[in-house]
Amino acid sequence: MIISSLDTIIVDLPFKNPGPPSGFGGKEWTTITSLLVRIETDKGIVGWGEAFGFNCVTSTEKTIQDLIKPLLIGCKIETPQDIEEISNMLQLKLHIFGRYGITIFAISGIDIALWDICGKSNNKPIAELLGGIKSQSLTAYASLFKYDIADDTKNVSLRALEDGYNIIKLHENLIEPIEATRNAIGNNVKLMVDVNCAWKEEDISKILQQLLDCKLYWLEEPIWPPENFQGLANLRKQGLVISTGENACTHWQFKEIITQKAADIIQPSVTKVGGVTEMKKISQLDLTKVRMVPHAPYFGPGFVATLHVLTALSPNSEIERLYMDLEQDLYKGLSNIDSKGNIFVPTDPGLGMEPDLEVINSCQRK
Ligand SMILES: [Mg+2]
């Protein structure tokens, strides 16, 4: 089977924010933007992927079209081994244009689509190709937007609990919203805080006791830069549970995070790290002292691929669900929780679900 065509589609999915307007990367979001990758083979099998993402989709799209497409068309695809060879070929040929960042985001989207194709052609869900479905559903956590204001953060957290979530993650870098939320939700609810690298080590020493008192399930990317692994290792020695990795790419960087004892929890992101292939390689590193809990604030094939990776490779880990009300859904409620706060893993071949073409048509960026 030969790869015969590759298309990219940007979709802007409208949503309602349960708090005041917010966003990431210095931009207010009214839609969730996703870069879809559609690959077709000469046998007519179609695979869907998603490449990171959000504010940088046009850059990633251009990279796929200009740099990857000419290398990919005509490649053979039958087995996961073929996908790994394609990933290695693309990483080697393109590393001079940026080993990490947009280049590997683009490769990630291709890789996910190829796993979808491989699953479909072998009549197995991706999870099965990765070693088997170990859990039918996964515990979800509500991943809130950044609000800055204690009352807003607290109120949206309480709303998430009412909706059925049992675990809350904030994106905040002021101590007041963090403390207010912990006080409001009580000590029985797991609470995480994602700082998105906003602090310096000395900032943390000033609020260390307050952070410890908040009994965080994990503290995510607390310091700048994210590759200051020694700084992260020092924070762990002070009693903080540290997670990191959404901005690390390929298993090579995760090997370094683990070697330097920089994290309790590693968070590879399937649309950024190099796709399912690199997630699989990360799962083969020495994970005896770390837990893999992927970054997954997505609503496209990247989210679905993460479900497969988790159930096969880290079934006791939580699945991230960006907390907002999606108004147009590519996957018909797949990312919604059940009454226990869980999300089900689709079990049909490949990703196990097809994106809704009507939603793609209506939300496609013109
Ligand atoms: Mg994060």
In tens, the pLDDT along 93-142 reads 999 999 999 999 999 999 999 999 999 999 999 999 999 999 999 999 99
CB 103, CB 125: distance < 8 Å: no
For 299-318, what is the mean pLDDT? 98
Q: What does the pLDDT read at residue 341?
A: 97
What local confidence, expressed as pLDDT, does residue 157 receive?
98
What pLDDT sits at residue 25? 86
- Centre of ligand 1 to C-alpha 246, Å, is 6
**What pLDDT shows up at residue 109?**
98
Would the pLDDT of 26 be above 90? Answer: no
Express as a percent the part of the chain with pLDDT over 70: 100
CA distances, 361 to each of 194, 205, 325, 355, 356 (Å): 34, 50, 20, 11, 9
Question: How do residues 167-184 score in pLDDT, each as one tens digit?
Answer: 999 999 999 999 999 999
How high is the pLDDT of residue 330?
98
214-240-242 Cα angle (round to 5): 115
User: Does the structure show a pLDDT above 90 at 27?
Assistant: no
Instruction: Report the predicted TM-score, pTM, of the whole model to 2 decimal places.
Output: 0.98
Over residues 219-248, mean pLDDT = 98
Who surrounds ion ligand 1 at CB < 5 A?
Answer: 194, 220, 246
Confidence of residue 288 (pLDDT cuts 50, 70, 90): very high
Q: Under CATH, which number does the domain 129-357 receive? A: 3.20.20.120
Six-digit token string for 261 = 């004892």
DSSP structural state of residue 145: P
Helix axes 150-163, 175-185, angle to 10 degrees: 40
User: Boundaries of CATH 3.30.390.10 in the chain?
Assistant: 3-124
- Average pLDDT over all residues of the chain: 97
Tell me the CA–centroid distance for residue 153 and ligand 1, in Å. Answer: 16
**Residues constituting the chain:** 366
Residue 50 is predicted with a pLDDT of: 98
Evaluate whether the domain defined by 3-124 bears CATH number 3.30.390.10: yes
**What is the distance in A from the centroid of ligand 1 to the CA of 256?**
19
Domain with CATH 3.20.20.120 in the chain: 129-357
Q: Which is it for strands 265-266 and 291-292: parallel, antiparallel or unpaired? A: parallel
CA 14 to chain centre: 19
**HSE toward the beta carbon, residue 15, CA cutoff 13 A:** 26
Is 83's pLDDT higher than 90?
yes
Coil vs helix vs strand at 365: coil
